[in-house]
Amino acid sequence: MAQTREQQIQQDVKDLHTLGYAQELFRSMGGFSNFAISFSIISILTGAVILYDYGLAWAGTAAVLIGWPLVTVFVLLIAASMGEIASAYPTAGGLYYWASRMKNKNWGWWTAWLNLIGQFAIVAGINYAAAGFINGTIVTPLLANAGVAYGNTSAVLGQTWLTGQLVTMGLIMLVQLALNVVGVNLVSFLNQVSVWWHIAIVAAVVVLIVLVGKPDISGLKLFAIQPLDTAGSWANNIGPVSLNYGAATSYPLILAFFFSLLQANWTYTGYDASAHVAEETVGARVSSAWGVFLSVAVSAVVGFVFLLALTTHLPNLGALFPADPKALGGADSSQYYFGGGVAVISILKYNLDQIAILGVGLGDLLAAGIAIAMWFCGLASIAAAGRMLFAFSRDDGLPAAGWLKKVSHRYRTPTNSLIAIVLVAWLFTLAAGVVGGGQAIVIVTAVSTIFLYAAYGICIYLGATTTDWLKERVWSLGRWSKPVAWLAVFWVVVLMVLFSFPTSGNISWPFMAVTGLFLLIYYYGWARARFQGPRVMGQEEELTEIEREFEHAAEQLGGAPA
């Protein structure tokens, strides 16, 4: 006989108690909401759009038509392996807890920091990109009509480092923060809206381009590896070390193609969110596992259809990728400023702006719709990252853990951790912009991909080399479990090499080196001796008493969270 919702919640709480934690967060998310948060963070209208230029620069149409399916296969293997482990340990923090239980606290500590750095970077990358797109498609045109000049590169308050893109990023993140603090029910609802918004925009773009779009005049061959970056050059100067690099066309074609895979693989990040919100999900063991896997599977199909429509209806790309280096830096140039989303906007305008609604071109309207989808993506990313930070802090794995692990009695959300995620992500983006200039988006996207997948890889490796967790899982790949896991680990290793390379002026490798050194010092100087790993909050009676305190406080403060 199937369990009622209330019986399922009781079982979820019992499972959480066996892991040593009280039900502090508000458990109300259904299976679709769990899927929706990962689908929203993957957001095919974010990663695939803002790095579309990057893919063209390194591999032409092959970045999408070959790269997307290739990356999809391996990411599905990674998601399947993670889904298995998620079903064994349904707790917030996900990967950190998995590694600690499968091996020991030391593996858990390293996994936590890799995942946490990746979470900060992905929140930064998503919202920086969203700000740029929102400015370009909504804010700047509206203010221009009012006689106000404001754009992504505008100096705000006379400060060149405080750009319009950074200011807009800060403002949209404050709204996202407020919504996340108010309650999981509201965020769950908005994530569900996000799923249908993404699908509606994709459907509109595909149908309209197929029906009224113009012929491809780019001169590119479908499925051919044809790098469009013919004039790029940059250098990484770190003290006495100077490393100089050339255009994409100066590399062997196969290597240029593999560099282009950042477009697809960064899109496929953040689906561990379904595990991070396990303590707020009803039927967490099964729902979290399916959320991880299905978010990738659905995004794969919807994303490829969307990208196929764009890639078969390209305009002349000469203005975006000029052969003359003197043309670099122009308003429409993507040569150095990879990740601007300029190519997708140009494709939409080229194909659809002959149709206008209330004087606004249809291409511009759809671009604004994509900007809103990016905002949804940022909202979900803050929710997931806040849970990860909360879970690690709950076990005293961070400085200021006592403050970070506090849960709002009114809203049952990890308010302080959410605040910290937003603040650090904005400061990280500011630093990336100061150091990398126009390449800021590539810096933060590469960093987020590298660190998140490093954490994914560690957990999958531990899953393939340990056995105790197998008896806990309820979502199983059966005899395919280990082969799938080892193929997933292989792909993670490939990613580490590819995305550490400083393509397009990317400084991710020195950032990783400095971060790795800092973590080593921190680990051997403090964490190795003092960090205790996952902690049991109390016996059954104590955990129940903690939960009663939250319920009583909520009643006193005005009822259930929004």
Evaluate the CA torsion angle 281, 78, 309, 260 in order and state its sign: positive
Could you tell me which CATH class the domain 27-517 is placed in? Answer: mainly alpha
Residue of higher predicted confidence among 516 and 112: 112
How many other C-beta atoms lie within 10 A of the C-beta of residue 224? 13
Tokens read off for 192 = 């569900």
Report pLDDT for 153: 79
pLDDT for 208-244, tens place per residue?
Answer: 999 999 999 999 999 999 999 887 776 666 667 666 7
Report pLDDT for 506: 53
pLDDT for 67-117, tens place per residue?
Answer: 999 999 999 999 999 999 999 999 998 899 999 999 999 999 999 999 999
| Pick from 1, 31, 114: nearest CA to 492 | 114
* Residue ranges of domains in the chain: 27-517
CA dihedral (481, 118, 225, 506) in degrees, to 10, reads -150
Report pLDDT for 154: 85
What percentage of the chain carries pLDDT values higher than 70? 90
Report pLDDT for 16: 93
Residue 183 DSSP symbol: -
Residue 387 DSSP symbol: H
Average pLDDT over residues 170-184: 95
Say yes or no to pLDDT of 335 above 60: no
Tokens read off for 152 = 């992504």
Identity of residue 358: L
